[in-house]
Chain A
Amino acid sequence: MTITIQRGEVVEVARGSQRRRAVPGMGLLDSLGVVWKHWRESFRQNRDFSDIHGTFTEQYPDERPNLPEAYRNMPILLFDDETGHEFCTSCFQCQRICPPQVIHMTQAKDTTTGKAVPSVAEFIIEYDACMSCGFCAEVCPFDAIKMDHHFELSTSDHASLTVHKQELNRPVSYYQSIAPTLWEEAKAGAYKKLQGNIKRRPDVIGIAPHLVDRIAARRAELAAAAAAAPPPPPTAPAAPPAAAPPAEARKLTPEEKAAKLAAIKAANTAKQSGATPAETPPAAAELSPAEAKAAKLAAIRAANTAKQAGTVPAAEVPPAPVDEKAAKLAAIRAANAAKQAGTAPAAEVPPAEPAPVDEKAAKLAAIRAANAAKKAAAEDNETERN
């Protein structure tokens, strides 16, 4: 029997064979038969939902409901059983997505530096307004927030429904017991990220606060590591000894960093200066005061000579070049002054040494400059005479 259904048409569908329908009231008996079958089969338990018959009722307080793994009721926070570290890094993703806005958190801070640490100091969920949507668990990139199966939350104490981190924390083993396959899927990624985050958590930050023995153990471990670690390197005198890195796992404080950077720069400069002149002694950086004086003196002399020789007033003498740089600068200035004073071609002037770092080089440069200036002055006299 084909039935064409048009909009607005009433379609009568007659059930049963033509012969059966010859006797009126058979449809009524059929419906009684359906109910009878339900009644008869209802004395059998139907737990697997294999068919529509049988009693489905669970005697709830006596029988615990067999909840599916993906059942979700209220969010909880996970921490690692072994290390006690919480998975949460306070990335604020859950707080941002929460439709009723019941998630609140404070990021943990390093007590010595005040810098943010990928860990959560306080985490609050208002269970009374939570709508169990599970968005927070879905969005969490660290698998730190998961949906619990515990649903018997009725209480006469309203305030107890504002749940803090202390009550939200659950070990991973608990979540594994309620949702084994779901955790199996998330496990590898969650632990990988957790290991990365543990490295960035100084002191005992990130360990679930109720695990006092874990925290004590971690403190003891840290103290032992600090005692065993070598003293801070001399290149970082600015870093306070308290913040000295006890182990390579520690994150460096900015002061330590600055000290390190200064040391590296100094080393690089020394390396550069040592590389250019072959005769330069390796300990160029350490200039003795006497040598520095000599270099200064030479530079002054050179400058004076140039002044005397030239018609153009020479550049002012540098006040007190204490290092090889200053000496070099002085030499260059002297040479320039001489050049300006004289009309001699630039080729005559010896090229300024790129880095006369020692007093010898400085003296040499000064003498050369003086000679060049004298020569130029003599040539000038000759041309005037001529």
Chain B
Amino acid sequence: MYDILDGLINSTLGFGWPSWLISLIGYVLVATLLFAVAPFQMLFFTYYERRAIARMQDRIGPNRVGPEGIFQPIADGVKMFTKEDIVPDAADKRVHLLAPIVVVAPTMFMFAVLPWGPGMVPVDLNTGLLFFFAISSISAVGLMMAGWASNNKFALLGAMRAVAQMVSYEIPAVLSLLAIVMMTGTLSVVSLINAQGGLFISTNDVAGVPDLGLGWLIFTPVGLLAFMCFFIAALAEGERTPFDIPEADSEIVAGYMTEYSGMKFGLFYLAQYILNFLLCAIAAVIFFGGWQGPGVGWLYGMAISPTNPDGSWIFNLLAGVLGVFYFLAKTYFFFFVMIWIRGAYPRLRVDQLMDFGWKFLIPLTLVNVFSAAIWVAVTSWGVADGFGLVEGWSPMLRWGVAFVTTLVLNGAAYVIVARIYNSAQAARNRFDVDELRESLALPR
């Protein structure tokens, strides 16, 4: 954005404005765009989810408002705005008011490091990933505030569950990302995407593969396992089924949102769907190359960029459109997978949720971190790093050896951990049944 504005204002128009002004204009423009786009993503997602889940349940879904019901979220939004805002008498009014803001604000912050297309990132922080996940966990504070301030037992239960779940699932999410960070050697989201060029083999591992923008990390065993763990953790963080226990409507009304109505409730709703969008987007960015895809890298090579200031703006536009298309296609696909999972699986119990996070995902991600270390060692270490064994191998051979080793390691780890987990759960179920039988004094 800075490059385009600089080229437009200073070179083409010749105003000679200072760089801080151009930066300011650029950021204001981008922030305005994002604040306009984010709610529309949320509106679209509500419609999308309702239609998709309806199809999975052999229904049609909302189709009365506008063509195929596309204006249904607008109607819902109007309803939200016109509803009465009720604050319980016993509520802590200030905290009650503040909670939705605290929940929504971090989700908007997270947009700051999210790249939409080539060169289309609001801020390219060199700790972008860390920022993203650090900010996302702030919303847990807002949830706790909401649950506490409502002075309602269901709200408090929901908030407790939400915080416990978020804290538990931050760990596997971050551990699975740790493996990715080890492989790519960067925390910047933009560098992460740039490392995923190539053709089923990342250009980061093997230099010189044809760059079709398909060197996604999902095509490595480490990336695959990391994606599985990350996506499951993302479901938990986004409070999606089967991990929607903080707002389990059949158990605790609506969880921490119980005492909220009108637009405050709407803000929670907004935050939740924007968070889901962001989690889908970051999964697409980290494991599926974000805007990477056939043609984008080639188009962007001819556009105005910091490395190529003499490019043509038309290629900026083309690369941007194609890149945003790839990025959104991947993001919407992941949201479809979330809906798909919602259609297929029932809700977990709290203890099952905790067991799954701590006893299955965390061991698996730890093994994955080890696999990532092997991958890095085999593909990029040398004598200087104390690993002279692979010094004479060709890059392809080193990649192949790393692939097979990590595949075996991760596969074996998955099967073993899953079986141990299964038998542990079965033993626990038996124990529960025995206990139940004793308490009921049933004959054996």
Question: Which chain A residues have a beta carbon within 8 Å of chain B's beta carbons?
Answer: 8, 10, 12, 22-25, 28, 31-32, 34-36, 38-39, 42-43, 46, 52-57, 59
A53 and B58 contact, CB distance less than 8 A: yes
The residue of chain B having its C-beta at the shortest distance from the C-beta of A24 within the complex is: B418
Indicate whether B422 reaches chain A with its CB closer than 8 angstroms.
Answer: yes
Q: Residues of B contacting A56 with CB < 8 Å?
A: 58-59
A39 and B429 contact, CB distance less than 8 A: no
A42 and B433 contact, CB distance less than 8 A: no
Give the interface centre of B58, B60, B345, B419 by most chain A CB atoms within 10 Å: B58
A31 and B345 contact, CB distance less than 8 A: yes
Q: For residue A139, give the distance in angstroms from its CB to the closest CB of chain B.
A: 39
The residue of chain B having its C-beta at the shortest distance from the C-beta of A56 within the complex is: B58
Known: A35-B343, A38-B55, A38-B56. 19 other contacts (CB 8 A): A8-B437, A23-B415, A24-B414, A24-B418, A24-B419, A25-B418, A31-B345, A32-B340, A38-B343, A39-B52, A39-B56, A39-B340, A42-B55, A42-B56, A42-B58, A46-B58, A55-B55, A55-B60, A59-B60
B415 and A55 contact, CB distance less than 8 A: no
Q: Which 7 A-B pairs have the closest CB atoms?
A: A24-B418, A42-B55, A35-B344, A35-B343, A39-B56, A31-B344, A57-B60
Give the interface centre of B341, B343, B345 by most chain A CB atoms within 10 Å: B343
The residue of chain A having its C-beta at the shortest distance from the C-beta of B56 within the complex is: A39
The residue of chain A having its C-beta at the shortest distance from the C-beta of B336 within the complex is: A39
The residue of chain A having its C-beta at the shortest distance from the C-beta of B54 within the complex is: A42
B46-80 residues at the A interface, CB under 8 angstroms? 52, 55-60
Q: Residues of B contacting A39 with CB < 8 Å?
A: 52, 55-56, 340, 343
CB contact between A55 and one of B59, B345, B418 (< 8 Å): that residue: B59
A32 to B336, alpha carbons, bound, how many Å?
A: 12
B442 and A38 contact, CB distance less than 8 A: no
A38 and B437 contact, CB distance less than 8 A: no
Q: Residues of B contacting A55 with CB < 8 Å?
A: 55, 58-60
A57 and B340 contact, CB distance less than 8 A: no
B415 and A24 contact, CB distance less than 8 A: yes
Question: Which chain B residues have a beta carbon within 8 Å of chain A's beta carbons?
Answer: 52, 55-60, 340-341, 343-345, 414-415, 418-419, 421-422, 426, 429-430, 433, 437, 442-443
Question: Chain A's interface: helix, strand, loop or mixed, by majority?
Answer: loop
A1 to B372, alpha carbons, bound, how many Å?
A: 43
The residue of chain A having its C-beta at the shortest distance from the C-beta of B63 within the complex is: A59
Q: For residue B29, give the distance in angstroms from its CB to the closest CB of chain A.
A: 40
A35 and B415 contact, CB distance less than 8 A: no
Give the interface centre of B56, B418, B429 by most chain A CB atoms within 10 Å: B56
B58 and A35 contact, CB distance less than 8 A: no
Q: Residues of A contacting B429 with CB < 8 Å?
A: 10
Give the interface centre of B60, B414, B430 by most chain A CB atoms within 10 Å: B60
Q: Residues of A contacting B419 with CB < 8 Å?
A: 24
A55 to B57, alpha carbons, bound, how many Å?
A: 9
Known: A24-B419, A24-B422, A55-B60. A34 touches B55 (CB 8 A): no
A10 to B60, alpha carbons, bound, how many Å?
A: 38
B418 and A54 contact, CB distance less than 8 A: no
Q: Residues of A contacting B437 with CB < 8 Å?
A: 8
A24 to B59, alpha carbons, bound, how many Å?
A: 32
B433 and A38 contact, CB distance less than 8 A: no
A55 to B60, alpha carbons, bound, how many Å?
A: 7
Q: Residues of B contacting A38 with CB < 8 Å?
A: 55-58, 343
A228 to B426, alpha carbons, bound, how many Å?
A: 99
The residue of chain B having its C-beta at the shortest distance from the C-beta of A34 within the complex is: B344
Q: Residues of A contacting B426 with CB < 8 Å?
A: 12
Q: For residue B224, give the distance in angstroms from its CB to the closest CB of chain A.
A: 13
